[in-house]
Structure 1
Amino acid sequence: GGRPGHLGRGQLRLPRDAADIAALTRCRVIRPESLVWLEGYQALVRWRSQNGITGLYAVPYDTETAVGVTKDYPLGRWVHQQRRAQRTGELDPHRKELLDDAGMVWEPGDEAWENKLAAIRSYHRATGHLAPRQDAVWGEGEAMVPIGQHMANLRRKGGLGKDPQRAETRAAQLAEIDPDWNCSWPLDWQRHYKVLADLVDADGVLPTIDPGVLFEGDDIGRWLTRQREATNWTQLSAEQQERLTRLGIKPVDAPSPAPAAKVATQGQSKAQQAFQRGLAALAQWVEREGQRPVPRGHAEEISVDGETEPVVVKLGVWISNTKSRRGKLAAEQLDALRELGMEWARPVTIP
């Protein structure tokens, strides 16, 4: 039965359970080096089983596990050695076959992707969606990942990689976790909607939610009120409207002025036009980002009636300038700013 002492870890006991015996049989020839390799393979199979892991999975390099009399078998380093042996052509084909069956990740790019996918699965299990704020982070300690930035990058053109086949596979993996991962509307909208959908799913009916009711930092009540406003409702896609309708959310009856993002400019002074465009840009920011402060250098693109190209509004600068001259604004302008979360927009009493 070979020279177990060759392992340097004490007596190696041959496997007893059916899966390990089958693996041993598939190694075909039992030599001392086969036993050394089989010890690592058994450690991998058992570690995956103990952690409930199925499918492709990249074992972290610093992973250690108990196997036989060894309490801290360096499984992560062993897996790394197999990957290196495969690259240099030194890995026996039947061993590669065994490792393929055990969900081995061979390419570094695939390994990074699998690690990212594991974080995405974990986030979805905890929240029920893949629509984090862009600045959201997830995990603990060294395993902390910028989940918001990850999802924003993946949704961009080419975000799944240059290889079309690989991109298609990755898109399918993400869709399996959440079919709405790449929805055509902003993730901010999707996150608020999902919270309400979960409430309806739990209670069968949407409860009364007033502005000011928060869920993990999002003002769900304020968002719901804004969706019901006729001007905002008309800007939603047919599918967004349909989803809200299924939750029992309908637009309130109100006159329908021009949608906020479609700014009518006829008959307005240049100052009025500039204010309306700034307000439309701010509404667009709040819809996408929530009540997050607007960086001073940030610019928004909006659609304007009569313009074929989007208009760029220097939103951060506009907010700063508008705030400095709030004493000159009309009451309805101040009301519109407060409605979008600008608490500084309170009427100034001039003695």
Structure 2
Amino acid sequence: MQATPGEPATVTPFTDTKPRDRTLTAPRHATALDKPVGQWLTNLRRPDGLGKDPERAARRAEQLAAIDPDWNPGQLGWTVDWQRHHTGLRALLEDGGTLDEILPGVTYRGDDIGRWLARQTRDWTRLNPEQQHRLDELGAKPAVRPQKTAARTNAKTGATKGSDAFQRGVTALQQYVQREGTTVVSRAHVERLPDGTEHRTGIWISNQKTRRDKLSEQQLATLAKLGVEWAQ
């Protein structure tokens, strides 16, 4: 890296000689010719980093843009890190890779492009329109969200099972009350239902009392109608 008075240093882009790879979004710790290029570029991106003289600052910006039009991605609305990963993704694709192959763990010059890409497609709505456009140009699309239908179905199934279990308990308790004339059931009591199955009615009624606050008004009314005092 060489510099002349009043002008930014001449820097070899953080790249090889392929124009498509050119990027000045080097990590802050990057060096070139034993010079701290990354920190130098970081300093240039800061307010007044190109100098306070407007004409000289504009000239310097043009020189940097001639190497990499996106040398200062903060002006575009994203970070240096994002721009560098995007450049890496483009390079991998132009080298013959496919999006299906660029999975977490696939790197480009030390950056995990696969993991970055997965995060972009997952958090697509957090990207600004230009970021989305640039990814779309490379074929990337927002990740397909898992359908919530299964979750809703499971929830409904769970609710149905819960309702069935409650109704089974009511049937057993009703049978017990008709026979014994009381809703006082020992915890160990097991009631045999008409279908031949056994129901641990004592444990069930104890559990209903414990979770009273979670029972619906209809469930409480059903128990109260059978004479369960704590449900009234």
In the alignment, the residues of structure 2 paired with residue 246 and residue 122 of structure 1 have an alpha-carbon distance, to the nearest angstrom, of 24
Partner of 1:158: 48
Using the aligned pairs only, state the percent identity. Answer: 48
Contact kept, 8 Å, 2:104 with 2:118, in 1: the verdict is yes
Contact kept, 8 Å, 1:136 with 1:146, in 2: the verdict is yes
Alignment partner of 1:252 is 2:143? yes
In the alignment, the residues of structure 2 paired with residue 192 and residue 160 of structure 1 have an alpha-carbon distance, to the nearest angstrom, of 25
State the one-letter code of the partner of 1:137. T
Query: With structure 2 as the length reference, what TM-score do the two structures score?
Result: 0.55
Q: Which has the higher contact order (CA 8 A, sep 6+)?
A: 2
- Ranges in structure 2 where 5+ consecutive residues have no aligned partner: 147-232
Partner of 1:132: 26
In the alignment, the residues of structure 2 paired with residue 202 and residue 155 of structure 1 have an alpha-carbon distance, to the nearest angstrom, of 30
Partner of 1:42: none
Contact kept, 8 Å, 2:14 with 2:25, in 1: the verdict is no
State the one-letter code of the partner of 2:37. I
Distance 1:243 1:122, change over 3 A: closer
The alpha carbon displacement at 1:243 in A equals 0.5
**Which structure: larger Rg?**
2
Q: Which of 110, 113, 116 is equivalent to 1:223?
A: 116
The alpha carbon displacement at 1:212 in A equals 1.5
4+ runs deviating over 4 angstroms: 124-127
Contact kept, 8 Å, 2:13 with 2:22, in 1: the verdict is no
Listed one character per residue, the Cα deviations across residues 59-84 of structure 1 (whole Å, up to 9, x for unaligned) are: x8xxxxxxxxxxxxxxxxxxxxxxxx
Listed one character per residue, the Cα deviations across residues 74-106 of structure 1 (whole Å, up to 9, x for unaligned) are: xxxxxxxxxxxxxxxxxxxxxxxxxxxxxxx6x
The alpha carbon displacement at 1:254 in A equals 2.0
RMSD, aligned CA: 2.5
The alpha carbon displacement at 1:170 in A equals 0.5
Partner of 2:160: none
In the alignment, the residues of structure 2 paired with residue 195 and residue 138 of structure 1 have an alpha-carbon distance, to the nearest angstrom, of 19
State the one-letter code of the partner of 1:135. H
Alignment partner of 1:242 is 2:133? yes
Partner of 2:87: 194
- Ranges in structure 1 where 5+ consecutive residues have no aligned partner: 1-56, 61-104, 256-351
State the one-letter code of the partner of 2:35. V
Contact kept, 8 Å, 2:25 with 2:84, in 1: the verdict is yes
The alpha carbon displacement at 1:161 in A equals 0.2
1:1-351 → structure 2 map (5 Å cutoff): 108-110=5-7, 113=8, 116=9, 118-119=10-11, 121-125=12-16, 128-139=22-33, 144-183=34-73, 184=76, 185-203=78-96, 205-206=98-99, 208-229=101-122, 232-254=123-145
In the alignment, the residues of structure 1 paired with residue 115 and residue 32 of structure 2 have an alpha-carbon distance, to the nearest angstrom, of 26
- SS state of the match for residue 14, structure 2? helix
Partner of 1:259: none
Contact kept, 8 Å, 1:211 with 1:221, in 2: the verdict is yes
The alpha carbon displacement at 1:202 in A equals 3.3
The alpha carbon displacement at 1:253 in A equals 2.1
The alpha carbon displacement at 1:204 in A equals 7.9
